[in-house]
Amino acid sequence: MKEFSKDKDKIAIIGMGYVGLPLSLLLARNYSVIGFDVDASRIEKMQEGTATISEPGVSELMNDTEVKQNITYSSNPDDLKNAKVKIVTVGTPYESKIDYIDYSQIYGALEIISGKINRGDIIILKSTVPPGTTNGIVKDKLENLGFQVPEDIGLSFSPERIVEGQAVNDFKSLPKIIGASDPETLNTCSEIIGSLGGKVIKVSSIETAEMIKMVDNYSRFVFLGLTNEFALISEKVGVDVLELINAAKDNYPRNSGLLLPGPGVGGSCLNKDPYILRAHMKKNGLTLKMVECATYVNSNMPYHVCELVERYAVNRKNLTILGVAFKGDTNDTRFTPAYQIYNYLNDKGFKITLSDPYVSDSKFHIEKNEFAALRNSDIMLILTDHRQYKGMELKMLTDIMNKNALIIDTRGLIHRNEAIKYGFEYHGLGRL
C-alpha cells in the first residue's frame, strides 16, 4: 500500500539546495522530515542551525521550535531507510558546448536511495527534466532493482515553480502540479505537497507534469527575449519601454505575460531549462525555433549595455557597477551578466568598482556599501534590482560622485526627472 501515515511515516528530501532546503523546512511544519545531502559540511552547518543558502525566511524556519522538532539533517544514506516518501531535488545541469543534458546528479541520487527502498514507498522527482525522464530513468532504475511501478512503488513528478528570493512564500502560495503513476500515489502526493499551501492541480500523466515545468521557464525565457527586443525598439523610436509595458498591461489580460527588460538573463533555470527542452526535442526530430530567437536577443543584451556606456561616457572613465547578483536581494551570481559587462568595459579602459550588498567573490573586490563605491565616480551603472537601489537618495550622491556624473539604469529604479533635477545625465535601458 502506498498510503502515508502522518504519525508514523517519514519524508526524505534528497538535495539541500535552493529547492530542497526550504521544501524540507516547510514540510517539517506538518511531517517528520529527513533533509539529506551528500555534502557532509553542508549538513553539519544545518545541524548547527545555520542556513546554507541566502533565502528570506529560511533562517527563521530553521530556528522555529516546531520545525526543529520534526526535522533531522543527514549525510548518511542509511537514514533514508526510514522514509516512506523520498523526494529528489537535485540539479540537472546543461553542457552548452556539447548540447548535453547532464543527468549525473539524478543517477547519483537514485544510486544513493537504491538500497533504501521498500515496497509501498513513493518516489517524487522535483528536478527539472524533459518529458519522459521520470518514466524513463527513474522507473528503469526501480525496475532494475526488482520493483514494479506502480504495483510495488509509487512514482510521481511535481515540478518546483519557485523564484529565488521568494522561495518560502512561493512554496506556500503557488499552484502545485502533480502527476503520478497511479491514483493512489496521486492522492497521497497531493496531500503531502498540498500541505504546503496553494491550489493542487492533478494532471493526467507524469509527462504532462514534466512538460509544465518546461513551459514555465521556456515561456519566461521567450517573454524576456520579446521584452528586451521591445527595449531596443523603444530606444530607436524614442519611447519609454517601462511606460510602454505598464500601459500595455494595465487592465488588459492579453498582455499579462509581458516582463520588464534587463541587462541579460542570469540564474540557473533560464540558462538551462529552455536548452534542456531543445536538446531533448532535437533527439526527437523537432527543432525549437523560439528558443533560438530569444537566445539571440537575450545573449546580446550585456553587450548592448556596454554600448550604452561607451556611447554616453564621453571622457568619463571612473565607473561603478551597482549589483553583481543576477537577481535582486540575493547573493546568487550564477550566469550573472555583471561579470560579462565588467570584463568588456574593463578591457575598454574603464576604471571599475564593483558593489553589491549581498555578494562576496574571491576573484574580485566587491564593495558592500554603494555610497562608498560611488565616491569620485563618473558613471553609475545599475545592473541588479536590489531594493536598496530603488529611489536612491540622489541629493546625497551629488556630494559623493564627480560633477556631471552619468547614470545608466538598466532596471528602471531611478526616476529620470529626479536624476536631471540634481544635475545627473540619465539614460535607461529602452528609456532613451
Q: Is the pLDDT of residue 339 over 90?
A: yes
Residue 2: its pLDDT value, please? 65
Mean pLDDT of the chain: 94
Banded model confidence at residue 320, pLDDT cuts 50, 70, 90: very high
Residues 389 and 267 reside in one and the same domain: no
Residues 318 and 401 reside in one and the same domain: yes
List the grid coordinates of 132. 519522459
Domain count, the chain: 3
Residue 269: its pLDDT value, please? 87
CA atoms within 13 A on the CB side of 235: 15
Residue 163: its pLDDT value, please? 87
Averaged pLDDT for residues 402-416: 95
Residue 140 lies in a domain: yes
3-state SS, residue 426: strand
Averaged pLDDT for residues 90-102: 88
Q: Is the pLDDT of residue 1 over 60?
A: no
Give the end of a domain, one of 163, 178, 204.
204
Q: Which of 67-76, 116-125, 161-170, 304-313 has the lowest mean pLDDT?
A: 161-170
Give the end of a domain, one of 248, 263, 292.
292
Residues 370 and 227 reside in one and the same domain: no
Q: What is the pLDDT of residues 232-268, one digit of tens each?
A: 999 999 999 999 999 999 999 999 888 999 999 998 8
Residues 168 and 230 reside in one and the same domain: no
Residues 222 and 318 reside in one and the same domain: no
CA distance 402 to 376: 5
For the domain that residue 338 is a member of, what is the CATH number? 3.40.50.720
Averaged pLDDT for residues 340-349: 97
Averaged pLDDT for residues 202-231: 96
Q: What is the pLDDT of residues 378-404, one digit of tens each?
A: 999 999 999 999 978 999 999 999 999
3-state SS, residue 283: helix
Residue 5 lies in a domain: no
Residues 28 and 82 reside in one and the same domain: yes
What is the domain extent for residue 267? 214-292
Banded model confidence at residue 7, pLDDT cuts 50, 70, 90: confident
Residues 254 and 381 reside in one and the same domain: no
For the domain that residue 236 is a member of, what is the CATH number? 1.10.1040
Residues 237 and 331 reside in one and the same domain: no
Residues 65 and 177 reside in one and the same domain: yes
Q: For 318, which DSSP code?
A: E
Longest dimension (CA), the chain: 74
Residues 285 and 408 reside in one and the same domain: no
Residue 2 lies in a domain: no
Averaged pLDDT for residues 172-193: 97
End-to-end CA distance of the chain: 64
